[in-house]
Amino acid sequence: MTENVWTRWPSREALGREGITRPRRLLAWSVRVVVIGVLAWGAFDAHHVHGWGTAAAVGGILLTAVLSWGFYRTTYDHRLWPSVVLIVLLLGMAGLAQATAFEGPALVVWCGCAIAALERFPLGAALPVAAVALASFSVINNDVWLTTAAIVTGMALAGYVMRLDAEARGGAQRLLAQERAARAAEAESAALAERARIAREIHDVLAHSLSAQLVHLEAARLLIERDADREQILERVVAARGMARDGLAETRQALSALRGEMTPLEDYLSDLVRVGDGAEVTVTGDRRPLPVEAAQAVRRVAQEALTNARKHAHGAKVHVLLEYGEHEVRLDVRDSGGTAGELTQAGGGYGLLGMRERAELLGGSLEAGPDKEGFAVTLKVPV
């Protein structure tokens, strides 16, 4: 234990009102009303109270109430010496009441001081204060010693039980606050992850499409400057338009994926390979829906691998293998090798770095490099 149990204050959550149910608050206020009623009855029931005595009794009750309120505030702020001074003044008020023949109010104040000290003070200060208060109570109590001992023991136990109950409530409040903070942090983390996901989708979808359009449009511009044949220029423009159409379709698919509306992965790969010549798709294993992130990783890696094949192995045969395993899904894209195509100038798109980042974020792996004939990309994602 890093903090001494004798000098440790009850937490502010324990000393505050937060977490107290409405019935308990009503009960606490009822007890306060009863205590004030006992004090008032004890003060004004005495036959010698009249004139200035009445005013003094009222002033004493009000002063006791103010001192009690101040004690509750200073203990809530964990201010030891002001709290000690206030409870000593309360004990003095009880002694003054006893000296002026207000025995009933004196007994109530002494018992209240003992219980409040055990509930709200560090134990090192609570025990001496409670001992003084209960000893004073025992001295002036007119009951037999056994009854007095039972009352004193009951008061001490009541104060300590109230302390334990307050600390348990304070612990529950701290746990609740920690849980709320954890939920807020989790929500913020989820929002950041979603933003990163959207950024990856936008980059993956638009980067290679726009760069390919740029190549065709730049080629069309050069042809125009050289007064080339109209058919050649039109071919480039049509190719750029096709790239724009494909990019728009892929953007719509990405937006659908972000909303959780995705076409089957096999259909997407079949549509994807139709764009290139000599590409085929093979699917093995038990087909089943994949988590959105895993499905998107497979889609984007397949898209980037086929784009790279068209860039760097123009005219090569490309084989796409999608294998559903028991605990993972594997995508293998291999080409047979070929010459670099004109799309090589379009840049790397999201590239191998982006594909590897997708895999690692999902706890998977990506391997890319030359094989016997051409180039191979292998993605493994746990599902």
Residue listed under structure tokens 């979603």: 194
Nearest to 204 by CA among 13, 100, 357: 357
In the chain, how many domains are there? 2
Nearest to 53 by CA among 62, 44, 61, 63: 44
Residue listed under structure tokens 């939920």: 183
Q: Which of 117, 142, 167 is the last residue of a domain?
A: 142
DSSP sequence for 4-52: -TTTPPPPHHHHSSTT--HHHHHHHHHHHHHHHHHHHHHHHSSTT--TH
254 exposure class (CB count in 10 Å sphere: 0-12, 13-18, 19+): buried
Confidence of residue 349 (pLDDT cuts 50, 70, 90): very low
Q: 331 has which bridge partners? A: 322, 379
Q: 381 has which bridge partners? A: 329
Question: Does residue 75 contact residue 97 with C-beta atoms inside 8 Å?
Answer: no
The whole-number pLDDT of residue 24 equals: 65
Nearest to 200 by CA among 323, 329, 292: 292
- CATH number for the domain spanning 301: value is 3.30.565.10
330's enclosing H/E stretch is strand 328-335
On whether residue 62 sits in a domain, the answer given is: yes
On whether residue 283 sits in a domain, the answer given is: yes
5-9, 145-149, 151-155, 194-198: which has the minimum mean pLDDT?
Answer: 194-198
On whether residue 68 sits in a domain, the answer given is: yes
Mean pLDDT value across residues 78-95: 90
Confidence of residue 181 (pLDDT cuts 50, 70, 90): confident
On whether residue 347 sits in a domain, the answer given is: yes
Q: Tell me the range of 17-21, 62-66, 99-103 where mean pLDDT is highest.
A: 62-66
The whole-number pLDDT of residue 70 equals: 92
Residue 14: is its pLDDT beyond 90? Answer: no
The whole-number pLDDT of residue 318 equals: 87
295's enclosing H/E stretch is helix 292-312
**Top-confidence residue, 265 or 350:** 265
Three-class SS of 231-284 = HHHHHHHHHHHHHHHHHHHHHHHHHHHHCCCCCCHHHHHHHHHCCCCCEEEEEE
Residues 204-245 pLDDT 10s: 667 767 777 888 888 888 888 888 888 888 888 888 887 787
> In whole angstroms, what is the distance from residue 37 CA to residue 111 CA?
15
Going 136 to 137 to 142 to 145, the CA torsion angle's sign is negative
On whether residue 231 sits in a domain, the answer given is: no
Residue 346: is its pLDDT beyond 70? Answer: no
Query: What tokens does 197 get?
Result: 């996901």
Question: Does residue 295 contact residue 262 with C-beta atoms inside 8 Å?
Answer: yes
Nearest to 91 by CA among 128, 56, 55: 128
Mean pLDDT value across residues 271-297: 78
On whether residue 152 sits in a domain, the answer given is: no
The whole-number pLDDT of residue 329 equals: 92
Write down the mean pLDDT value for the chain. Answer: 79
User: What length does the chain have?
Assistant: 383
Q: Which of 80, 110, 142 is the last residue of a domain?
A: 142
- Could you tell me the end-to-end alpha-carbon distance of the chain, in angstroms, rounded to an integer? 45
Residue 350: is its pLDDT beyond 70? Answer: no
Residue 275: is its pLDDT beyond 90? Answer: no
The whole-number pLDDT of residue 48 equals: 53
The whole-number pLDDT of residue 47 equals: 46
**Top-confidence residue, 352 or 84:** 84
Mean pLDDT value across residues 174-198: 81
Residue 347: is its pLDDT beyond 50? Answer: no
On whether residue 174 sits in a domain, the answer given is: no
Q: Which of 123, 142, 161 is the last residue of a domain?
A: 142
Strand order from edge to edge, sheet including 375-382: 279-284, 318-324, 328-335, 375-382, 365-370
On whether residue 69 sits in a domain, the answer given is: yes
Mean pLDDT value across residues 372-377: 83
Query: The domain containing residue 304 runs over which residues?
Result: 263-383
Residue 86: is its pLDDT beyond 90? Answer: yes
pTM: 0.50
